[in-house]
Structure 1
């Protein structure tokens, strides 16, 4: 009777015990696909985060360099203005000095002596000597001013060239950073397109998971009720049941939002993180209504505790019980694994009341 019901419930793609070899082959293929997709998804998430960070850094550096380049523009303009002013001052000094130097050259040293010797009196000699010294001091001042103007013009020219060179380097670096940001932006767009395809696969997987859960619900609903112990025996243990494995809560009961793809699924049990191979035990006495592979849940053990109460442990690495076996509280059901999952070793645990999932945290104490 049980075998007939199992075959009926699993007819839509599940396979029954008589199809064990085909089920095992499908299981191996599903596990391989899950491992591949898990690796692709993790790689895509890491690449997207790295691309976003690199793009943000490149754009920030380009903005900084652009600001520095813009700030250098006024400095270059000032340097060029200073250079032009210094060159004009030098030209003015040279123009003012040129006739004096020409007169000095024509007069020569003997010309000055002749002028002094021709003085009609000592007073005129002293006067002429004073005037010559004043003219000489003025000529020396003109020479010093001209020398300073030459030095200022040269310094201004050097500053102008340095600012021009710095501005050119900044412009080149800004262009390089902008090009890098554009390259990273293009890579990110490519990655986003890839993630969009991954999202479609993820949503398809979510739809398949919902279909698998619906099949599981139909399957549990088709199981024959356990004779003997009443529901009050199990109900009395509410809040006092031991956990099925020594582990920690990784994911609770209820709505779950997947952060990368922003998809929402209803988690109808809890995920308990535990080491691979850790023992999984019955939380209460009952009869094993199913022990076998179930698509989407991997190795699955369902224990019927009477009057519509069932507990489920899934993704087992191995099973230590069989369909129809009576088990006591604490009996070994299997070991922790990750079949049909992409999370690494963990145990999926459900409590169902007349086929309806209820929050397991109301029944078992979790760390």
Structure 2
């Protein structure tokens, strides 16, 4: 009977041992999970944001590299007035992009720094709580001395139970020690990370200051551009020279469209584009790419200042910087890049030989090969290679021949409703 009781007691004691151990493990796991849960949301959100910014950074940096190559190419061209305007416009845009990169990098680093500081603060709070817990325990042990161990011994059912309790206490103390050591280790690591991030912020601020200084230099170049525009508008010889250059650019643009048309025909014969035939049927009711007053009309125009004539293949619509530009009809983008005399230019192929052209853009928000629908945003109004400030240069062509856009667009009063 005694053996049976002893065996039952031993089994019960073992169960209690595993129960206590399981409880300790569950408690530890809960604490770790709770800590992880507190940090997970903010970290995941920041990670997604940083990854998005990094992708945008890469795209901008790629654009800058391409633009720098093109600036060097333009500088090797003849020293024409349009080329000078083109160089200044390109250089200014490059610096604007570089400044955007610095801003994004600064935002990314500051976001990381804020997250690390938050985690550091939370970790310090957790350590303080643990310190208080251990301090209370040590204070009790100090006051009671060996009495605490006597209490443990007296509360034990037998010697085996006493040994198990002592082991539990030892394990708990060991666990607390490891936890504190781990906390301090993480705190040290995060403090080091924070110092690195602070250094990065200072470095980026320095780079941004350098870029801002460069921008000041470009502002001077912009003044030079304004002086050039003043000469164009105020001096007959310069004005006539620019008009000849614009005519040459127009011929080059026509050659480009013809080359693109030929390239399309050389590709395997494709079925007619869906809706392409409808473009002609939309004559007179197509939406405006931007709202604004026409500052330069289509066709032959007289320049009253110098009593000279010029011919425009399109119209210029006065607007403001960064106003969205929308496509007038569905089609495929076949060109999206700088073009001398037109600045940043987009050409949309509407099928059956119909094209719409959008020039002097500040930003190009669509790429070659993209399909667009009427009303899609493809860029923003700018003044690249423009002699009339912030305007949208707009053309409609059929098989390379320019047509009056006003005849194709809906009346302005209707468009502005």
TM-score between the two structures when normalised by the length of structure 2:
0.44
User: In structure 2, the residue corresponding to 1:318 is in which secondary structure?
Assistant: strand
Residue 28 (structure 1) aligns with? 87
Residue 265 (structure 1) aligns with? 310
Q: Which has the higher helix share?
A: 2
Q: Report the Cα offset of residue 296 of structure 1.
A: 0.3
Q: Deviations over 1:231-271 (max 9, x none)?
A: 42211111111000122222221111122222211011111
1:199 aligns with 2:236: yes
Contact kept in structure 2, 1:30 and 1:340, CA below 8 Å:
yes
Q: Report the Cα offset of residue 317 of structure 1.
A: 0.7
1:315 aligns with 2:335: no
Aligned positions of 1:1-367 closer than 5 A: 20-25=67-72, 26=74, 27-29=86-88, 34-40=225-231, 45=234, 198-223=235-260, 224-225=263-264, 227=270, 228-229=273-274, 231-367=276-412
Contact kept in structure 2, 1:319 and 1:335, CA below 8 Å:
yes
- Aligned-partner Cα distance in 2 for 1:366–1:28: 37
Evaluate the alpha carbon distance shift between residue 239 and residue 291 of structure 1 in structure 2; reply closer, same or farther with a 3 A threshold: same
- Aligned-partner Cα distance in 2 for 1:366–1:22: 42
Q: Report the Cα offset of residue 20 of structure 1.
A: 4.1
Evaluate the alpha carbon distance shift between residue 366 and residue 273 of structure 1 in structure 2; reply closer, same or farther with a 3 A threshold: farther
Greater CA radius of gyration, 1 or 2?
1
- Aligned-partner Cα distance in 2 for 1:291–1:18: 16
- Aligned-partner Cα distance in 1 for 2:285–2:229: 36
**Larger RCO (CA under 8 A, 6+ residues apart):** 1
Residue 184 (structure 1) aligns with? none
Contact kept in structure 1, 2:313 and 2:395, CA below 8 Å:
yes
TM-score between the two structures when normalised by the length of structure 1:
0.50
Q: Report the Cα offset of residue 36 of structure 1.
A: 2.3
RMSD of aligned C-alpha atoms?
2.3
- Aligned-partner Cα distance in 2 for 1:221–1:229: 22
Count of matched residue positions in the alignment of Structure 1 and Structure 2: 197
User: In structure 2, the residue corresponding to 1:271 is in which secondary structure?
Assistant: strand
User: In structure 2, the residue corresponding to 1:229 is in which secondary structure?
Assistant: coil
